[in-house]
A and B are shown apart, each in its own frame.
Chain A
Amino acid sequence: MSDQALGMADPFSFTVAAEGESGDAIGRTLIELARERDDIVLIAPDVGRGPATMPFIEAFPDRYIDTGIAESNSISIAAGLAASGFRPFVFGIGAFLAPKCAEQIRADVAVNKLPVTFISAWGGLDMGYFGATHHAIEDIAILRGMPHLTIASAADNAAMRSLMRAGVADGLPLYIRAPSSLASDVYPGSPDFVRGAAHIVAKGRDVVLIGTGLGTTLCAQAAAVLKASGVSATVVDMAFLKPFDGETICRLARDARGLLVVEEHNTTAGLASLVAEALGRGGVAARMEAIGLPDGDLAVAIPQQLLNRYGLTVDAVVEKARALAHHQ
């Protein structure tokens, strides 16, 4: 069966990503950065020779380090390189970065404030076909208590490129959730992200749709549908989960009939929790709904089936947003 028939990205395909695929953005940006700076190196635990990073390896074979299936080692090696003046990228499977290597990320990279960028690829439900072990839906929860670590989530390829470039420029520890294989364009050009700032994608007056990663894609598409039916929605891309722009959330919440959070993450400790916490700290009473993944057993299937099951669809966002807009 072809990848397309499955409706999912095949991480182990040894072909180069087609233009417009998320891997294409990662590979192109790595090459771009490596041409600009001689301190860019790529480390991957036996997942480098796939579509996202193969173009970089072909262009810069001497700047690629394969650690084999040893995720923990790959992160501590990156820390050693960073402590010696390099700007390493660690590219790995989302399910095996934060959950398996939380301690290396914390003790070796975050606490030491070292400029390592983690690319969490095939995150969220992207590998949900392979089993519960492959759901990467608690990484934000695992990482957000770690000092100095910026946590970001790319809604599309343009966002991914901007986040990767911003991370290298900042020289701080950065974890980026790569765009979902099912994400589509949110940004027409390169978004100009400010570290830790919410990014307003569309302005409206009735409801506020708050997304991150695939959630932002769904919110942007839902806003267009809502507009046609007379509901005006603000769309906010929380590209940064940490630092978290609670002020913008509170400001928008004061003027809206309700907030809807959409995330491809466990809602008990991800974006929905961050939003609720911001509202509480800001003393803002607001009606809030969330679409995301439940804290319990998750189904195993190809990503689109899983997204349908858990309401991570444009239709489900539209329906919930409409209910919020019409709530008396």
Chain B
Amino acid sequence: MSQKSKPPYSMKDLRHRAEWIRLETIRQIAGAGLGHYSSTLSAAEILAVLYYRTLRLDPKRPDWPNRDRFLLGKGHIAVGLWPILADLGYFPTAWLDDFGKIDSPLTDHPSMRDVPGIDFSAGSIGHNLSVGVGMCLASRFRGGSGRTFVLLGDGELHEGQLWEAAMSAPHYRLGNLIAIVDANGSSADGPTSDVMNIEPIAGRFEAFGWRTVEVDGHDVDRLVEIFDGLPDSTTPVPTAIVARTLKGKGISFMEAAPRDWHLGFLGPADRKRAEDEIRSRMQ
């Protein structure tokens, strides 16, 4: 398995890890009985590149003050984060087997009090860009170089508080804040912009004073290029990366019916179909 390879990881390794995140997502949800598939699948490449290349972390010191921080706005994809944090050594991989079960620290939405490596809890959409602003201010007060990355859903852009945070980050000149929008185009009631228009996403962030970049969120090479090219954290302008993604990416029948697989459970036959598809790309 290439997830045992050592850094620096090749582009192939990173692509491989994104597929492995998909497999582990399916495996954990199989044990739990219910889980968020399609919105985790859309973020697999983003998570792989961030954790295996971009974020400056020390898993042996989860509280290292000058680390980069990563927050989920869309907290329901924690299931995609757990295998990464276990693999990096934040907690035993055996924890993954109990995902979603009572008293397991690994829950559907993450809790900072229960899991090392979780910088902030998530659960209520729209709060964590504000929390990220607070963390970037803290880093600035301490003269640190740590950055904060916040992964948002595109449906999350419906939340009013999100725009309070978006207004405040450029005002405080927080170039150490990076928002990534997993723009998979779907929220619970339908296509995101049919429910409530959020486009142009980049244009809106630009109007609030952010530097913006659009990217295919499944293109590992481009994601690497963008994250590697982030400006120094002392820059006064925060960055918003609009990652265009496919909800359910990597499992054909979920791509075809992403809303049906927002929250669900794969029966044995469907699970095998899904895993076979993913494994075929890992050859």
- Contact residues of A with B, CB < 8 Å? 41, 62-63, 65, 67-68, 70, 72-73, 75-86, 88, 103-104, 107-108, 111-113
Contacts and interface: CB of A to CB of B under 8 A. Distances in A.
Nearest to A76: B130
Contacts of A83: 112, 119-120, 131, 134-135
A76 to B, nearest CB: 3
Contacts of B164: 67, 70, 72-73
11 contacts: A67-B168, A73-B164, A76-B130, A77-B133, A77-B165, A80-B133, A81-B138, A83-B119, A104-B127, A104-B130, A112-B111
B211 to A, nearest CB: 21
B252 to A, nearest CB: 36
Interface of B is mostly: helix
B137 interface: yes
What 5 A-B pairs are tightest by C-beta distance, nearest first? A80-B134, A76-B130, A84-B138, A73-B164, A77-B134
A104 B129 CA distance: 13
A108 B161 contact: no
A80 B135 contact: yes
Report which residue of A41, A68, A72, A73 has the largest number of chain B beta carbons within 10 angstroms of its beta carbon: A73
Contacts of A113: 113
A288 B127 CA distance: 43
A81 B127 contact: no
Contacts of A70: 161, 164, 167-168
Interface of B: 65, 111-113, 119-121, 123-124, 127-128, 130-139, 141-142, 160-161, 164-165, 167-168, 172
Contacts of A86: 138, 141
Contacts of A82: 134
Contacts of A75: 130
B134 A79 contact: yes
A173 to B, nearest CB: 13
Given A62-B141, A70-B167, 4 more contacts: A67-B168, A86-B138, A104-B130, A108-B121
